[in-house]
Chains A and B, each alone.
Chain A
Amino acid sequence: GDSVTQMEGPVTLSEEAFLTINCTYTATGYPSLFWYVQYPGEGLQLLLKATKADDKGSNKGFEATYRKETTSFHLEKGSVQVSDSAVYFCALSGGTGNQFYFGTGTSLTVIP
């Protein structure tokens, strides 16, 4: 069945460091891919999405490119801030199973 695998955390970075959180997926069909962010005490917020191969989603300085050849959707940011400290979830939807699948989440802490 469809699934999403993302890198284990927690991840701790210094402010202004480069961020990569890896996400790979397994799906038949043509799923859409998403990154969600969850700040402490809040629900999940959609951060960015890509609906087809080679699409790049971007928002708030974060980017992710839908790579069908490597079945990946890695999240990147060139310079993280303390306010980016949160849990990040990779997700897919619209594969053959018509389900919405979340990764296990990666906790990011950015220190000043």
Chain B
Amino acid sequence: ETGVTQTPRHLVMGMTNKKSLKCEQHLGHNAMYWYKQSAKKPLELMFVYNFKEQTENNSVPSRFSPECPNSSHLFLHLHTLQPEDSALYLCASSQARGTGKGYEQYFGPGTRLTVT
């Protein structure tokens, strides 16, 4: 596998379910990101991990819980979601975060989440 992979690609869950999204990067990067992409809305940055430490949480509801066990893996644990949480969830990675350098981000294919 190369680049950034995400599983599952599609997920349908009820509001009382608990599920997890997985992201893995094979690029040797040190920063990983979760984004939410909803129809007709700008891309929303949710969480940032830099060297396995969470450095940003952009006012994301607690029903979304990220986990980064190492620099290559990132999870997003989901519980008691709402229908408005239905969206495409994108994972990305970059060489690092901050330091003033403009590192490009590499994206996975996304998980299409539908909350019923």
B42 A51 Cβ-Cβ under 8 A: no
A59 interface hit (Cβ, 8 Å):
no
B110 A92 Cβ-Cβ under 8 A: no
Q: How far is the CA of A36 from the CA of B96 in the complex (A)?
A: 19
* Chain B: interface size category: 20 to 34
A62 interface hit (Cβ, 8 Å):
no
B43 A102 Cβ-Cβ under 8 A: yes
Q: A31-B102, A98-B98 are in contact. Are A43 and B43 (CB under 8 A)?
A: no
Across the interface, B100 reaches (CB within 8 A) one of A44, A92, A94, namely A94
- Chain A interface residue count, CB cutoff 8 Å, equals 25
Q: How far is the CB of A74 from chain B (nearest CB, A)?
A: 18
Chain A binding surface, main DSSP class: strand
Which residues 89-107 of B have a CB within 8 angstroms of A?
A: 90, 92, 94, 97-107
Q: Inside 8 A of A105's CB, which chain B residues have their CB?
A: 42-43
Q: Inside 8 A of B110's CB, which chain A residues have their CB?
A: 42-43
Q: Inside 8 A of B101's CB, which chain A residues have their CB?
A: 32, 94
Measured CB to CB, the residues of A under 8 A from B are 29, 31-34, 36, 41-46, 49, 51, 89, 92-94, 96, 98, 100, 102-105
